[in-house]
Copies of this chain bind each other. A is one copy, B any other.
C-alpha cells in the first residue's frame, strides 16, 4: 500500500513538472490512506527530480515522522493545515502556474469557463497573507498559523489563489488534484483571453455540480489522461509497476 502510494506520488510530481504546473518550485502531497493524520511529501527537490527515496511521511503539523537530515520544503505547512481542516481531502498541490497569478493580484474573479475547468468549483477565493500576517512577510507559508489561515480561506472550495504567489488545490484523490492542477491554468488562460473579447459566460452552477458529482478517478476517461500525462513525463515504467 505505502509502496503504491509512493510510486503514484512520484508520477504525480513528474506529471506536474512536465505539464508546466510546477518548475523548480511547487509540490504535491497525498494523505496516508490508512493513517489520516499523516501525509506523504517529498524532501526539498524540484518535482521533476523527485524519486521514491525522496518521499517522506509527515504529521499534520509538518514534522517528518522519521529523522531526516535532507532539507524539507519550507511550505509543507500548506499541506498539513489543509489535511487538518478538510477530512475529505486526500491530496494537495501547491504551485505557481503562471496563468493563475494574474487572478491573484487583481479583483477579477477566476471562474470555471470550460468543462475541464469545472473542478475548480464555482468559487475560487483569494488568500492574501498580508491580511492577517502584515505587509512584511516573504509571502511564503512557513508555519502552521499561516497554513491554517490559508486553509480557512480555502474553506470548502477546491482551490484558493494566494496573492502574489500561487495557488493551493485540494481534492479527494491524487488523480483529481493533478487533473485539477493541469486544467486550472488552461481555464485561467481561456478566461483571460475571453475577457478581452467581451462579456464571458461561465459554467452554470448546475453544470459545475453535474461534472463534479459525476466524476470518478477510476473512470476510463480519467485514467486515460493520467496514463497519457505519465507516459509523456517519462513514467511508463513506473506505470507498469502499478499495473
Q: Hey, which bits of chain A sit against chain B, CB under 8 A?
A: 23-25, 44-46, 48-49, 71, 74, 96, 98-99, 101-103, 105-108, 113-116, 118, 130, 134-140, 163-165, 186, 189-190, 192-207, 209-211, 214, 220-221, 224-225, 227-229, 231-232
- Is there an interface contact between B164 and A194, defined as CB atoms closer than 8 Å? no
> A225-B24, A225-B25 in contact; A107/B163 too (CB < 8 A)?
no
A221 to B46, CA, bound (A): 9
> A24-B224, A102-B194, A194-B101 in contact; A96/B108 too (CB < 8 A)?
no
Least distance between A222 CB and chain B CB atoms (Å): 9
Residue of B nearest to A198 (CB): B106
Which of B99, B164, B206 lies in contact with A203, CB distance below 8 A?
B164
Least distance between A211 CB and chain B CB atoms (Å): 5
**For residue A221, which residues in chain B have a CB less than 8 angstroms away from its CB?**
25, 44, 71, 74
Given known contacts A71-B220, A98-B186, A135-B204, what 11 new A-B pairs fall within 8 Å (CB)? A49-B227, A49-B231, A98-B189, A102-B197, A105-B190, A105-B202, A106-B200, A135-B205, A136-B204, A138-B214, A139-B203
**For residue A196, which residues in chain B have a CB less than 8 angstroms away from its CB?**
102, 192, 195-196
- Is there an interface contact between A210 and B44, defined as CB atoms closer than 8 Å? no
A198 to B48, CA, bound (A): 34
**For residue A45, which residues in chain B have a CB less than 8 angstroms away from its CB?**
224
